[in-house]
Amino acid sequence: MAYLDEYQKWLEYPALDPALKEELEAMKGNEKAIEDAFFAPLSFGTAGLRGVMGAGINRMNRYTVAQATKGLSEYILSFGKETAERGCAVCYDSRNNSALFSEIVARVLAHDGIRVFLFDELRPTPELSFIIRRNGYVAGVNVTASHNPKEYNGYKVYWEDGAQLSDAVAGAVSERIRATDLFGVELADFEEAKRNGLITILGKETDEAFYEAILKTSINPGAIREAAPGFKVIYTPFHGAGYREVPEILRRLGQESFYPVKEQMVVDGNFPTVKSPNPENKEGFAIAIDMAKKMNVDLIVGTDPDADRLGAVVRNAEGEYVSLTGNQMGVLLLDYIIRARKENGTLSDKAVMITSCVSTRMAEAVADAGGVETDYCFTGFRFIAERMNKAVSEGKQFLLGFEESCGYLMGDYARDKDAVGAAAVAIEMAAYYHLRGKTLYDVLIECYRKYGYYSETTMNLVMPGVDGLERIRGLMKSLREEPPADIAGRAVAAVSDHLAGTRKSASGTEALPAHLTGSNVLGFMLADGSEVLVRPSGTEPKVKVYVLTRGKSAEEAEKTKSELTEACKGWI
């Protein structure tokens, strides 16, 4: 079998990393473990690479990282010497092996004559996106697995506009990766490359420029200072890259009563205080909530290991601490931005909000009420970046880009979600309402009463193992070729096939907008106004199901969501 041959090849490689060699020896006789590690290479796509760390072609390790970088290097070099001299920025997060992998990235690029600008220590993903644009680099790499568990690492690649790779560029890089000998990638000597000017170390000067860009997104820059010291905030970086930037930006905004979760301010790739460093999950905020109860704090914010996602916990009317979903925070931010810009006269009549097609429809209701355009795109901030580029080129005012998975961007300084900037605006927003005697939870309830009762959830149909990809393909094929007539007893009124670019209903077939065509997403619009959207994950062995509902009351919206969710579980 091919995977056994590949396993043997690794075992016999004389210069193999000793730790990986030991792991391979421990696999002997365990064919299942060998198959999982060697059945296929990690897939390189628009989100780069992501996988469990360890030995094997289906794992993140020094060899798969070098191979991926060689593919990127050859793609950059195909544009000529001048492009190579523009250089590639490289940074990393707090994960185990991230610093090692980033150095390997730098050494592969430098060996091939591509200038490298390597951060001196971990940095937020959005700072990489920002600095690519600001300094005119041709590309960037961040070694991170975002919010995944500690066993994972990853490799995000950005192009010259500061956004993650397009399908075309990712495909071109992937071809070159496949043609690269895994053990044949040559690396420059790190210190020699520094002396020769091929590797330049980036430091605090980039942070200063990043802070300046974020501060410009403030709408009410005096709100935080005015609300202090009575307005209190607790913050956790979940052991990640936000540990320095978020406190610093809040200090500059005047947030006096700021309380970091000390245990989680420690940079640690084992994430010892949380099961998973995902700010979407309330359980990660347990220590912060205990602090909030003792200190009478209304707002807790947290950022994931590469500081591109922002989570928040607020105190409700009963005094209980509840997590805001990514959709709820997106709605609150949009409503605040529109309100505040109208108050200070900075809202353009050509303003636009951009969100993913799987995010809450409540945002569109808020935008409509404020005279703001809503632009939908596919899931992933690279698509929001594409629509941002179009909006800016058309002279529109970009207000907010957001997606339901806790990703937000309020300025056009970057082309990826930014939890540092989002924390600044979210806390400014909370301070603004604190001055008016309201918490964010109070404002959320006001929004529901004003715009309608919406409820959403994301469900993962996980299909692990060697046969997982085939099961995923089978489910998508079945839903596409024989779509359900109803879901939980609610008739399917229309089916949107974003791969084919069509929307079919009783009245016929119509074409979807061009920018919403070509991705493996299915949407089922139900007769009661609910929607169910389905897509395979780009980085994990699962199908994501998004359930979007609206009701005349919160109870009705929740009931519909629950029934639709249960029905969709029966698909596997």
Our separate counts of H helices and E strands in the chain read 20, 23
**Distance (Å) of CA 444 to CA 309, 330, 353, 368, 440:** 20, 11, 19, 17, 6
Specify whether 78 is catalytic. Answer: no
DSSP at 29 = T
The answer to whether 150 and 271 have CB atoms below 8 angstroms apart is yes
What letter represents residue 484's amino acid? P
Pair of tokens at residue 520: 């493996």
Rg value, the chain, Cα? 24
Question: Minimal CA–CA distance to 85: which of 137, 145, 41, 33?
Answer: 137
Backbone torsions φ then ψ of 98, nearest 5 degrees: -65, -45
8 Å CB contact between 566 and 559: no
User: In angstroms, rounded to a whole number, what is the distance separating the alpha carbons of residues 268 and 272?
Assistant: 7
* Distance (Å, whole) CA 304 – CA 424: 15
Residue 1: other Cβ atoms inside 10 A? 11
The length of the chain in residues reads 572
Between CA 370 and CA 154, with CA 413 as vertex, the angle to 5 degrees is 110
**In a 10 Å sphere around its CB, with 0-12 CB exposed, 13-18 middle and 19+ buried, how is residue 95 labelled?**
buried
Contact 316, 159 (CB under 8 A): no
d(CA 316, CA 321): 6
d(CA 354, CA 403): 9
Catalytic residue among 98, 102, 129, 146: 146
Handedness of CA 433, 448, 338, 312 (dihedral sign): positive
Q: Are 122 and 85 in contact (CB under 8 A)?
A: no
Query: For residues 114 and 87, is the Cβ–Cβ distance under 8 A?
Result: yes
Q: Are 388 and 410 in contact (CB under 8 A)?
A: no
Active site residues per annotation: 146
